[in-house]
Amino acid sequence: MELAILNLPSARFRVKNTENRTLIWDNIRKKYLALTSEEWVRQHYVHYLISQCGVRPQRILLEKKVMTAMKASRYDIAVVNNDHSILLVVECKASEITINEDAIAQLLRYAYDLKSRYLALTNGMQHYYFEWDSEKLEYHQINAAPNLV
């Protein structure tokens, strides 16, 4: 599989090949996972959160179940506050997937259920950020990644 060079800080990952697939080490979950295009983006974004945003690994949750509109789903990444409330929810798409309104709608479903202050949507090439506006009771797009420390 050819993996894209992403618009995120480069990182060195532990990767191993098995008989039928390539695996990547996940430092948060402490296990090897199938290396898909989406997992490549997710691992780079986690690296970005830790190395560039100063988020402690203990504050990062990966692929946890959430109920949205009576349906069980899984968000990709969440960053929690010290009180374990959700500060940021990140939806990762494979680099070859175009960010569109369906992806934004998916992220918003997670956000409203998790009551996250910030949202991020990325395919590793493009990154979109949103913040909750408590006066208008809606999310609005912001120009840069929020301060998470």
Q: What are the structural domain ranges in the chain?
A: 38-142
What is the C-alpha separation between 124 and 108, in angstroms, rounded?
Answer: 19
* Model pTM score: 0.94
pLDDT tens digit sequence for 73-92: 899 999 999 999 999 999 99
CB 148 within 8 A of CB 87: yes
Return the pLDDT at 1: 67
Structure tokens at 48: 């970005």
Q: Out of 3.90.1570.30, 3.40.50.150, 1.10.287.3510, 1.10.3720.10, which CATH number does the structure's domain 38-142 have?
A: 3.90.1570.30
